[in-house]
Structure 1
């Protein structure tokens, strides 16, 4: 009850009053039906100019209306609590709490709430288009542009890496969607348009990835993925690899890929003149043996004929090889994802033989230096360095 002794009416009373008016009732009949005096009903009608100032439908659960704010003001002045106001308006208490914080004339918790001020502030917040954050924050814009242009990080990687790079600076925050909009949406171009080519796809439109076409040839004595150790599945133990062959134009060139499942660390195989079974087996053996023994536990490949000499790899590198089921690229999910990232540097339909071993190592370094969402936006290189520097590998080796 307020200072005048008036008990504010629930909004449902006025909503029902206007529903009756809309249905053709007179002000007297509508007033009597909702339990108010005829003079009160006439005052509501005159003040509103005959136009309902309240929602005739149920609240939409998202935005407060002008009339709801007009209900909050006298309720607040009458000393009603947040939960009681929320109950009367059929709104969430958190919605009312935020509204009171935004609509008070002062920033004090007990400040007076004024409906007109709250409505003006709400309209200002809702005004579109809003200025792009990157246009107003040059330090943030330059940091984002640098990672796009020089490191080819994705907008999502950039967004999450900002939290690690600037943990105490809340101004250095931006969503990946805001970065995309700054690149592509007219009127939001805080970033140079040509930076779009630094994205992995190089396109403005995001298209679904195509399913890889696997080569299904018969391979002797292959061991299927169903027989692979159970420890591989949860990625808790490092040293389990996934591999594949990326084929260039007209199948005349290829690059091999090896991805470690725990760290997503990537190595590329240089196959300049031949990507047959013998050349692939030699390249895998040469590359994988650069890793410590504890990081050479298994290799999973699809059923491409290029791994027909898998037994030679197992013997030379002490690396058991397992084969995926036909038409099951998800069984090498890390490798499939990595191949997609590599297409930024090794586009489909191009001659891959022009890349030297040094070129491929540089590409792998870039990929291993990118933050990964699945690694908490640390990089594969950082995760591998952590494994090599702590006692984890010693523990893995002792269980081998």
Structure 2
């Protein structure tokens, strides 16, 4: 028997055999989320995107809660307690459907729930986390401001003491889930530095007007948060969240999900390009039979599966408690950048059809333009890595 006959067959969908790195439970979670997205998102997402709305967000949140996808990697309080790799696989499948759906899950679990889980009091955890894990309450995370994105230390939102109460004033911008949230985790300046607050959205003085006219993340709810003399009791503050360490650790957790999610968008575009190349005929044969098209597909496959392998490696490091923020920056910088290039190359293979919502390519490409800059721009992650590599701080 020849050596080659003992080898498993080549799988075009998994050319590096990465599924062999996964346990049966990992594969089961991945396949469950993929099936849910195929049933509940893919038949409708082009229409949602075209209309610029996510009309079923509350129903989707409850269904995602039933799947265990909300606060998925957190332990206790009704959360699934899944591994970091399992959470990453879920993010990949959700973003393969649409970045807006992954953003819903990411902001709910990795930002709002994570902040309460890590920095909140036991009473805050008991009050909010079980209902958020079930999708009964949607959360949002208020850090970015109209004039302060990459420099959150300069935020103007301020919380002052009034007796035993806190009174918040300020504005937050580009807040996913804002206008449908039942609770907002809001970061504000205080006389003791930056602190986080758990803000019920029915509080007097709180409003969340939805942001319209977006050309990216259109199947997602994005809002401004306005805090006008919002009065909160003393126990609204997150007791363990002081300084920028609090919100930045939340962002690092959310960026990890993006490392996986971006590869989901890339995979969707790659698969669309392969299918199209095998069926679209020009000059008497499928365009997939031409050398230039095959070169594009080969390059796309290499970057796609390298990115998935990188995400898997970072997930294993997170599960082992060894993942550093600089490594998360490495993953987000690489994977989002390569995902955008894969989408753009797929568009060239589909030609004019690449701009049609009958195919997922342009939708993913425009979504990734937001993913590229939110939760840390390219430049910020380059500077994070630059500082780590040289020991020199170039931020200021």
Query: Is the TM value for this pair above 0.5?
Result: no
Q: Pick the structure with more strand per residue.
A: 2
TM-score (structure 1 length as normaliser): 0.21
Which one has a bigger Cα radius of gyration?
A: 1
